[in-house]
């Protein structure tokens, strides 16, 4: 798995998603773009990939598309509509683009060539705590009761999706 931290300026979301699909097909990789505010750390999407692959191998996946199944796990939700909130949208986006399987480096090079690509930008260095706490329903009481990092608490939500099925 490789991640590209970047800035995207998306005019047409459907066309952008189609471009990611074409890039993935061309390089035999799964490509998924996340709004960086919803990604706790580098380990967060990595764990989502592991769990999505396990669900697919067991025939327990919700989505037909691997990229969507990864999004579901990253969001810690089984409802696609709710998980899509974690994806990028039209307009300006601080983003994390994931490529997994096949020629990941070539796929991300192609992402850099898209019109929507506005430059490399460090997006995971400082997590967007308010967004993460709200989206993953992490309370002040929970944060106060543990010395675990916010990233660890988010990854716990990702794993809990597996338990709650």
Domain borders along the chain are: 2-164
Q: What are phi and psi of 8, to 5 degrees?
A: -120, 145
Answer whether residue 102 shows pLDDT above 70. yes
Give the model confidence (pLDDT) of 111-155 as tens digits.
Answer: 999 999 999 999 999 999 999 999 999 999 999 899 999 999 999
Give the residue-averaged pLDDT of 49-74: 95
Give the residue-averaged pLDDT of 62-76: 95
Nearest Cα neighbor of 161 from 65, 100, 82 is 82
Give the residue-averaged pLDDT of 72-100: 95
Answer whether residue 165 shows pLDDT above 60. no
C-alpha torsion angle, residues 2, 8, 14, 18 (rounded to 10): -40
Answer whether residue 63 shows pLDDT above 80. yes
pLDDT score at 164: 59
Q: Could you tell me the fold of the domain covering 2-164? A: PF0523-like (3.30.2380)
């Amino acid at each position: 798995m490789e991640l590209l931290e970047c800035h995207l300026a998306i005019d047409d979301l459907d066309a952008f998603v189609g471009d990611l699909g074409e890039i993935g097909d061309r390089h035999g990789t799964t490509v998924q773009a996340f709004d960086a505010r919803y990604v706790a750390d580098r380990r967060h999407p990595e764990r989502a990939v592991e769990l999505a692959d396990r669900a697919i191998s067991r025939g327990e996946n919700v989505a037909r598309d691997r990229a969507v199944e990864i999004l579901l796990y990253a969001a810690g939700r089984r409802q696609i509509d709710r998980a899509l909130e974690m994806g990028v949208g039209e307009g300006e986006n601080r983003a994390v683009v994931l490529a997994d399987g096949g020629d990941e480096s070539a796929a991300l090079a192609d992402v850099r060539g898209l019109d929507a690509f506005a430059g490399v930008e460090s997006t995971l260095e400082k997590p967007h705590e308010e967004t993460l706490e709200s989206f993953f329903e992490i309370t002040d009481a929970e944060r106060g009761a543990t010395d675990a990092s916010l990233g660890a608490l988010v990854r716990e939500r990702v794993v809990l999706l597996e338990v709650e099925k």
